[in-house]
Amino acid sequence: MGSNERFIARLIVAEEIEVKFLDTDHNDIRSKLEKMGAIQTHKRTLHKRKVYDYASGLLEEKGGWVRLRDEGDKITLTYKQNNFNNSGKVIKTLEDEVIVDDYDEADRFLRSIGLKEKSTQENYREVWRVSIDGSIVDIMLDEWPFVKPFVELELVEGSRNALKELAVQLGLRFEDALEGSVIPVYMSEYNVTAQDIRDYRGPMLFNQPRPDFLKR
């Protein structure tokens, strides 16, 4: 890439509407998706990512973080921020995203403006898409290190009610759904707090031993 060629290709500014369902049977979900005519848009692919904040924790204080993610067919650089209600429940996630063409160049850029790498993570993701009641929903079959497989439903276009309707068709209990980042997934399986997870500065990879803070 030439010195005058930068890695920003396009900007996406959006409010994410997504929910997660824990401890799911991906084979069962996949079979139901096929029967309802859903389309597989991305095969099961290993994603790698780095998460960043300033040394002061400025972004975390606002419920935010910067993520650099290699999805196999594209690389995205994203700022995400959770908004909470008075009881601490995530009510909205805002997302600003650019597509970049070089993972290492983007990493160097983030470090050059003072951001620090908090952690390196990887997960497997398979993506399906379905149209339901005039709305479009993406279904992510996710696998993360040290937790059971889970499913994420994300509204691409249309009414939030489509998420509830699709959950019913997939045999998922919408009242059990989680919102926000992957942090609540780990909290559901281990005796850890959100702060325990945010404070962890090591890698979260499939081929590593389970981190000590997840052994409690």
Q: What pLDDT digit, counting tens, does each position of 175-201 carry?
A: 999 987 899 999 999 999 988 998 888
Task: Judge whether residue 90 has pLDDT over 80.
Answer: no
Phi-psi region of 2 (alpha: psi -120 to 50; beta: other; left: phi over 0): beta
Nearest 10 degrees: CA dihedral of 8, 99, 162, 34?
150
Distance CA 216, CA 213 (A): 6
What's the pLDDT at 9? 45
Look up residue 159 and give its amino acid: S
pTM of the prediction? 0.81
Q: Which structure tokens are listed for 61? A: 């204080």
Whole-number percent of the chain with pLDDT over 90: 72
Q: Which fold has domain 11-214?
A: Hypothetical Protein Pfu-838710-001 (2.40.320)
Mean pLDDT of the chain: 89
Task: Judge whether residue 13 has pLDDT over 80.
Answer: no
Q: Taking residues 67-95, report their average pLDDT.
A: 82
Task: Judge whether residue 5 has pLDDT over 60.
Answer: no
Task: Judge whether residue 154 has pLDDT over 80.
Answer: yes
Instruction: Please classify residue 33 by burial: count the beta carbons closer than 10 Å to its beta carbon, then call 0-12 exposed, 13-18 middle and 19+ buried.
Output: buried
Lowest mean pLDDT among 11-20, 108-117, 139-148, 207-216: 11-20
Question: Which phi and psi angles does 109 have, rounded to 5°?
Answer: -60, -45
Task: Judge whether residue 2 has pLDDT over 60.
Answer: no
The domain spans of the chain are: 11-214
Chain centroid to CA 125? 10
- The neighbouring-strand residues paired with 52 are 66, 117
Task: Judge whether residue 14 has pLDDT over 90.
Answer: no
What's the pLDDT at 11? 47
Distance CA 203, CA 116 (A): 14
